[in-house]
Structure 1
Amino acid sequence: MPMDRRSVLKGASGIAAASTLSGCLGFLGGGGGGGNQGDAMLWHAMTESETETFEESLSIYNDENDAEIVAEENGDLRNNVETTLPTGDGPEMYRWAQDWAGNHYQRDFLYDASDDIDFNLEDTFSQAAVQAITVGADDAVVGLPVGGETVTLLYNKDMVDSPPETYAEMESTMEEYHDPSNGQYGLSHPIDAYFVSAWMHAFGGYYFQVNEDGEGVTGLDLDETKRGMEFVRDSIWPYVPADTNPGPQQAIFQNGSAPFAVNGPWSIATFEDNGINVGVTSFPTVDGNTPSPYTGTSMWYFTTRMADDEDRRESALDYAKWISQSEERQRAYADAHSDVPVLNSISAEDLGDQVAGFKGSYEGGIAMPNHPKMGSVWTPTEDAMNAVLQDDADIDSRFDEAAETVRSNWEE
């Protein structure tokens, strides 16, 4: 099975403080069953705090519309979706990020609601959100978005007076604090393909993209991608603990031993609970180039169960349309969980400083590909990165090898 990025990101959000894990658009949950209960059935795997916000929204909707949309927590969401839907059972909708969309659409788990959407997606939602919910050469609409996330640059306001606009400014501050022999570092930065994606994309490179023919292609062996890896090796790695794992990386920002961190909204509560005065800003430019991180979008997926019963389909779609277009509910998620609103009608000025900071990087980022081939890209990419950073491997040869591995995996 391809690497599950939601699980990876979930682990990265707080190994150093497991009790406060949240984020990455929800992963933990419990139980889960299914069945044709109420007007429509929803499955999710949100954390306890996210579930509270969600249940408030669902209660408001049901009360205002005299509806009975039923939701169930499902801790093993992916497995249950993939084993239940082929039997003709399961929910009308489930909530997750977009990274399953291409694979699940290819496997006939998802319903194309293109003909059921009566509003313009591009006018309503951010570009990244529209890319997240559409799949295939025919741009099938397989869900509606409710929130976004990405990693960006965080800074300790007690150590940094104003956020850097250029990497040169950032490096100057990192140099000031970097003293590993005394447990001080310039930067807290988990090192994996997702967390370093902004730097890897900064020079025009990419791990994966879909070409004009709708085919997935890898760019791991492009000079521009290798230039991104050179930047990570020469300008990021020297300022962080010599450990790619998220726990040690997060700990140094969490205990006030680094002025900067690269992390996501799921980490904010942990940092603040440990007394860090967290500022959130966009990535600084690098030699005039703007780093673009991968973005994730939480969405309500439409399953093939929708095709079975017109009344249940309409009930599920009505809820999805309401929750995805409600400014009030998206602000509630932003306030409670630092989710980035995906509605074009909500500007950064409407949000708190932290969410506004994430919104800037989300809107300037690159939607994490939802193509089914993307799952085969992560491991070869991270193997190459680790070889370069930890074993001093040659970037050219190691990334050429990774590209060939990806292409070979696709042929199998």
Structure 2
Amino acid sequence: MSYPRRRIIQTGGALAGATLAGCISVSDDSSDKNTSDDGSGDGKTAAGTAQLWHGRSKGPKKNLVTNVETFGSETNHSVKLSEISELEKKLENAIPAGKGPHLFQWAHDWIGEYQPAGLLSDQKENLSVDIDSTFTKAAAEAVQFNGEVLGLPWAAETVGLVYNKELVDKPPEMVEEMQSIMDEHHDPSNGKYGLSFPIDPYFISGYAQAFGGFYYDEGNDKLGLTNEKTLKGFRFVRDELAKYIPKDHAYDPQAAVFNEGNAPFAINGPWFLGSVRDSGVDVGVAPLPKPKGGTPKPYTTVKIWYFSKKMNQGGKNATAGRKFAEWHTTNTDILSTLAEEHGFIPVHKDLAGSDELPAATKAYSKSVKMGEPIPTHKHMSSVWDPLKSAFKKVVKGDQDAKPAFKQAEKTIKSNWQ
């Protein structure tokens, strides 16, 4: 079975060249099938080993390795942790064949395709965590589809304004103020730029949808790329922001400019903070500045430990996977550390909106409140690539926005059929 391609949101391209790596446990999962979850009369659950696949970037990956080790020391279960390049492709090949992981990590937007395709496992009846009382409403809704509970949420994220404190005294609240600062630093002939901003549909969504426009209306199954308010947003990105960035619009070249101290601002997500701090840049985070006459509406995501179809096999290894997901998503120490070190926004009710959250996390949290979740309808997956191709033509000046996106909508609707 083939699945429509969708863009990588979670890691921002940071996994180029990553390979299968890093086993925390060497236990084999061949005993997974038909294995009782009961202990041997000692009151404990029989030890299991869950397989977990992820695509985390460098900083958050270190936290995950530590978390898995701690889980193993605190329970009688273990986790076999593997970093996977091309995670989507390998999941879609492995799971239908009864292989792959018990758990995998990604944003919530895959759920609308993966559940109907039979790639996920409903664990509603097996969970000891009440999702509605434990997590925020948006997070609880994100892990449910067609009445099933298909994973557990641990963070929300979106893009915000990251700024170099050595170059910016106070983050701007309006785009006009931001442009004044960018003008001071923009000197491409000397490798200096006003802004680091990967140009793709996810990163530009805040401003593309800032004037009342939208990419896709899930409730009405309707495209909005040629809506005049959306076109205004696309043109705003082209005319007011793109002129300040390096010519190579891809993620890595854009990130490098900021990490090297050669731009005062970056529009990026919390996953970006680890590499920035590793590079020695003293950074702050603020909500996206407002354009005149608009309010940024960036796409937001909920990060999930998905329950793979392999969980349906039951047994001690499936139990280990479920217990790890419950342990990780309810451990407020872990969630606080992720907020402190990487800006991940907690969705656990005991932490969400807390005054004790780090400044960066609070700023990203404000951007989340400004935004809206990526639609989970299967039609959304067909929007990304044609939208990206169309905007590439627009930002390069090869085509105006209206004809470019008229063709994009035609392509998308054809793909739906």
What's the TM-score, normalizing by structure 1? 0.84
| 2:113 equivalent in structure 1 | 103
In the alignment, what sits opposite 1:3? Answer: 5
Report the counterpart of residue 243 of structure 2 in structure 1: 238
Residues 82-123 of structure 1: CA distance to partner in whole angstroms, max 9, x if unpaired?
Answer: 233323344332222223322221211112234445655344
- Check if 1:146 corresponds to 2:148: no
SS of corresponding position for 1:6 = coil
Q: Which residue identity lines up with residue 132 of structure 1 in the other structure?
A: A
Distance 1:36 1:208, change over 3 A: farther
**Cα pair distance change 1:404/1:310, threshold 3 Å:** same
Counterpart contact for 1:35–1:90, Cα < 8 Å: no
Instruction: Determine if contact 1:14/1:247 at 8 Å carries over to the other structure.
Output: no
2:96 maps to a residue whose letter is P
Residue 161 of structure 2 aligns with an amino acid whose one-letter code is L
Give 1:134's match in structure 2, choosing from 130, 144, 147.
144
2:330 is matched with: 325
The structural deviation recorded for 1:206 is 1.8
Any idea what SS the aligned residue of 1:194 has?
helix
Residue 261 of structure 1 and its aligned partner are, at CA, apart by 1.2
- Residue 407 of structure 1 aligns with an amino acid whose one-letter code is K
Distance 1:172 1:74, change over 3 A: closer
Are the structure 2 counterparts of residues 336 and 211 from structure 1 closer, same or farther at C-alpha, using a change threshold of 3 Å?
A: same
Post-superposition shift, 1:403? 1.0
The more displaced of 77-86 and 352-361 is 77-86
Cα shift readout 1:225-256 (whole Å, capped 9, x = no counterpart): 11110111121122223332234423332333
CA distance in 2, matches of 1:139, 1:226: 36
Deviation at 1:223, TM superposition (A): 1.6
Structure-to-structure mapping, 1:10-409, within 5 angstroms: 10-11=12-13, 13=14, 29-30=20-21, 35-36=30-31, 38-45=47-54, 46-47=56-57, 50-65=60-75, 67-76=76-85, 77-117=87-127, 121-135=131-145, 138-211=146-219, 216-309=221-314, 313-346=318-351, 347-409=353-415
**How well do the aligned residues superpose, as a CA RMSD in angstroms?**
2.9
> Structure 1's 290 and 241: CA in aligned 2 closer, same or farther, altered over 3 A?
same
How many angstroms apart in 1 are the aligned matches of 2:84 and 2:137?
30
Partners of 1:321 and 1:7 lie apart in 2 by 24
Point out where structure 2 has 5 or more consecutive residues left out of the alignment.
Answer: 33-46
Cα distance in 1 for residues equivalent to 2:279 and 2:97: 47
- Please give the alpha-carbon distance, in whole angstroms, between the structure 2 residues aligned to 1:14 and 1:307: 30
Higher helix share: 1
Cα contact 2:207–2:296 (8 A) shared by 1: yes
Aligned position for 1:24: none
Residue 6 of structure 1 and its aligned partner are, at CA, apart by 2.4
CA offsets 1:37-93 (integer angstroms, 9 cap, x no match): 55252322245654442243334334444x213323152543443233323344332
Cα–Cα, structure 1 residues 310 and 250, in superposed 2: closer, same or farther, change >3 Å?
Answer: closer
How far does residue 315 in structure 1 lie from its aligned partner after superposition?
A: 4.5
Please give the secondary structure, in 1, of the residue aligned with 2:396: helix
Structure 1 position 31, deviation (Å) = 7.4
Where structure 1 has 5 or more consecutive residues not aligned to the other structure, the ranges are 19-26
The CA distance in 2 between the partners of 1:159 and 1:177, in whole Å, is: 9
Give the distance between the partners of 1:157 and 1:249, measured in 2 at CA: 18
Q: Take 1:102 and 1:374, find their aligned partners in 2: how far apart are those partners?
A: 9
| Contact 1:128–1:366 (CA under 8 A) maintained in structure 2 | no
| Counterpart-to-counterpart distance in 1, 2:341 and 2:64 | 11
| Alpha carbons of structure 1 residues 181 and 81: separation in structure 2 relative to 1, 3 Å | closer
Aligned equivalents of 2:361 and 2:100: distance in 1?
A: 34
- Which one-letter code corresponds to 2:373 in the other structure? A
CA contact (8 A) 2:9 2:202 kept: no
Quickly say closer, same or farther: Cα 1:348–1:255, change in 2 above 3 A. Answer: farther
* Separation in structure 2 between the aligned mates of residue 72 and residue 100 of structure 1, nearest angstrom: 21
Output one character per residue of 1:362-397: Cα deviation in whole Å (capped at 9) or x when no partner.
343222233322221111101111111113412112
Partner deviation per Cα, 1:237-285 (whole Å, 9 max, x = no partner): 2222333223442333233332211122232233333332211111012
SS at match of 2:390: helix
Distance 2:98 2:252 in 1: 41
